Structure 1
Amino acid sequence: MTPTPAPPQHLDALLAHLREQFPELSPQFQGGARYLLDHPQEVPLLSMRKVATEAGVQPATLVRLAQFLGFEGWQGLRELFVESMRGGPQPYARRARKVVQASGSNRLLKDMFDAQHRNLDVTGEQNAAAMTTAVDLLSAAGNVYVAGFRSCAPIASTLHYVYRLFRPTVQLIRGDAGALEMELRALTARDAVVVISFAPYSAEILRVTDAAREAGCRIVAMTDSTVAPIALHADCTLLFSVESPSFFPSITAGIALAEGLVEQLLARKGKGAIKALEHTEGQLHQAGAYVVDKGAGRAVKRN
């Protein structure tokens, strides 16, 4: 094993390097690396001895692992995790104070739409390769389950509703009335699960991700970072930007990403998707899902 000539400069680069080198590491190094990959949010908060205890290795192992990666010692490696946390999302209340202080400014609306344009541009640029992989995984699955909670529920609902228009084997994991565990029992190794979340990540989405791993499902993560907890063990990660000048992160790019994914899935399925979509539309018309504009003699859709 040859150490890198220079240490990684960013946390994403460090974790990507660890994933790549993991099979070649010694068992002791693998123990330390596994903890860094699985619990990046814990590293800035714990002492080296506590990290070593949680990882099941000796503190000296972490020092040697850091040196193997090109750092002088543990502190240099840990600093990448600390810097990542510093750049993390601010509490909503703190961001809200800034918005209130700027009330009356003509720039508020412009800043919001400028941010949305940037989010869409960034999201479009960073998913070209991963989108093909996601389409492959979902198209090959027996069933597709979609999960997103709290602010990510609209993204999950959009993906589920539009995808189900031409594929009936798409299910939305809701977790209503404390029934999440019951819904997760249905997962099998033939299925794929789309998990959606951004920082701060919901406890429920981690439970869905863990259950999907245990069931042997293929996992597609839609999230804001390659080192998000739901991305670390995903088979494919689609990234969307959530930057916003307002107090709450934006889900606009997440919705666009879900729509783009469904578009690709429809194109992959081809004529079969068109036939299924025609059948679904016919059923919706017969069920009275659309308001009929009698004057124009056509249906007005209530999507």
Structure 2
Amino acid sequence: MTTIATSFSELEEQICQRFDSLSKRLRQVGRYLLDNQERVAFDTVAVIAEQADVPPSTLIRFARAFGFSGFNEMKTLFRAALVEGTSNYNERRRLFIELEEEPLDPESPPDILHRFAKANADALEQLVSLVNDEDLKRAVTILNQADTIHILAAGRSFNVGVYLAYALRHLGRKALLIDGLGGMFEEQVSMISAKDAVVAISFSPYASQTKSSIESISKIGCQLISLTDSAVSPLSGPSDVCFVIKEASVEGFRSQSATLCVTQTLTVSLAALSDKQD
């Protein structure tokens, strides 16, 4: 018999543990719920079903699969978690929009800048509450103890990987970028040893090269740090430390401010640790 979760963290853990055994439709619901905690807390069942691209009955089936009498009972966990973890930034954001006296022209460059800047500011503020302090410390320790740091980032995440490799090399660390130049992803991955560390960066829809490389890396026995967007992403399972990052998105254009913030935090923290040890 399924133990009914009494908190969002318990529910999140249950969804992650059972994710692969769920039907395709229920996995679709699970991914949406974990990736949109705030929206689930406020939206109606009809809106959630529309956004998750499933019929409302599927939401009810999902809730019952985890022991709840209905979806609204499950939804109370999302609301409670939001209230307990909020620093009132959500309320401030809504109030700001409501009190804006002169709506800006949505076509104008100043308005586009305004929306990107605000969305990124919100994402960075949320980042502080999403990132676990112990995960940060453990990630820095892993990087510090690694013989070589390999960075896996393809597609839209590539520039973040390039920056991290650049920053680590300026610290005097041996950092190699797995870029697949000449189609040599497999050859570059084969150079990783159990004494190394890998930092993998990928966001939905997840670069195919990254997914296939992660499968190989997980068999090597090295330490893996991942930066991704979901607790059920292909990177999270094999990771020793996983940072789930919610990036800002404006009209389909996803930012990278929060991801870069995490990489800068890791780099500067590693530098500080090195100074203490010298």
Which bin holds the TM-score, normalised by the shorter protein? 0.5 to 0.7
User: Counterpart in 1 of 2:14?
Assistant: 17
Which shifted more, 182-191 or 235-244?
A: 235-244
Check conservation: 2:5, 2:11, Cα contact below 8 A. no
Listed as ranges, the matches of 1:150-165 within 5 Å are: 150-165=155-170
Check conservation: 1:40, 1:227, Cα contact below 8 A. no
Look up the SS of the partner of 1:193 in the other structure. strand
User: Counterpart in 2 of 1:138?
Assistant: 143
User: Counterpart in 1 of 2:58?
Assistant: none
User: Counterpart in 1 of 2:3?
Assistant: 4
Check conservation: 1:112, 1:246, Cα contact below 8 A. no
The alignment status of 1:103 with 2:107, answered yes or no, reads yes
Match of 1:260 among 258, 261, 265: 265
Look up the SS of the partner of 2:173 in the other structure. coil
User: Counterpart in 2 of 1:170?
Assistant: 175
One-letter identity of the residue aligned with 1:156: G
Listed as ranges, the matches of 1:155-234 within 5 Å are: 155-234=160-239
Listed as ranges, the matches of 1:6-85 within 5 Å are: 6=5, 13-17=10-14, 33=18, 35-36=20-21, 43-44=27-28, 69-71=66-68
Deviation of 1:36 (Å): 3.8
User: Counterpart in 1 of 2:119?
Assistant: 115
Relative to structure 1, the CA distance from residue 225 to residue 110 in structure 2 (aligned partners, 3 Å threshold; closer, same or farther) is: same
Check conservation: 2:150, 2:198, Cα contact below 8 A. yes
**Under a length normalisation based on structure 1, what TM-score does the superposition of the two structures give?**
0.61
Relative to structure 1, the CA distance from residue 168 to residue 132 in structure 2 (aligned partners, 3 Å threshold; closer, same or farther) is: closer
One-letter identity of the residue aligned with 1:192: A
Q: CA RMSD in A?
A: 3.3
Relative to structure 1, the CA distance from residue 146 to residue 262 in structure 2 (aligned partners, 3 Å threshold; closer, same or farther) is: same
User: Counterpart in 2 of 1:94?
Assistant: none
One-letter identity of the residue aligned with 2:120: Q
Structure 1: give runs of 5+ residues left out of the alignment: 23-32, 46-65, 81-100, 274-303
Look up the SS of the partner of 1:214 in the other structure. coil
Identity of aligned residues (%): 23
Structure 2: give runs of 5+ residues left out of the alignment: 30-62, 76-104
One-letter identity of the residue aligned with 2:27: V
One-letter identity of the residue aligned with 1:136: T
Distance 1:193 1:41 in 2: 33
Deviation of 1:175 (Å): 0.4
Relative to structure 1, the CA distance from residue 271 to residue 131 in structure 2 (aligned partners, 3 Å threshold; closer, same or farther) is: closer
Relative to structure 1, the CA distance from residue 34 to residue 187 in structure 2 (aligned partners, 3 Å threshold; closer, same or farther) is: farther
Q: Report which of the two structures shows the higher radius of gyration computed on alpha carbons.
A: 1
Deviation of 1:213 (Å): 0.4
Relative to structure 1, the CA distance from residue 13 to residue 271 in structure 2 (aligned partners, 3 Å threshold; closer, same or farther) is: closer
Distance 2:126 2:6 in 1: 27
Deviation of 1:69 (Å): 4.3
Count how many residue pairs are aligned between Structure 1 and Structure 2: 214
Deviation of 1:210 (Å): 1.1
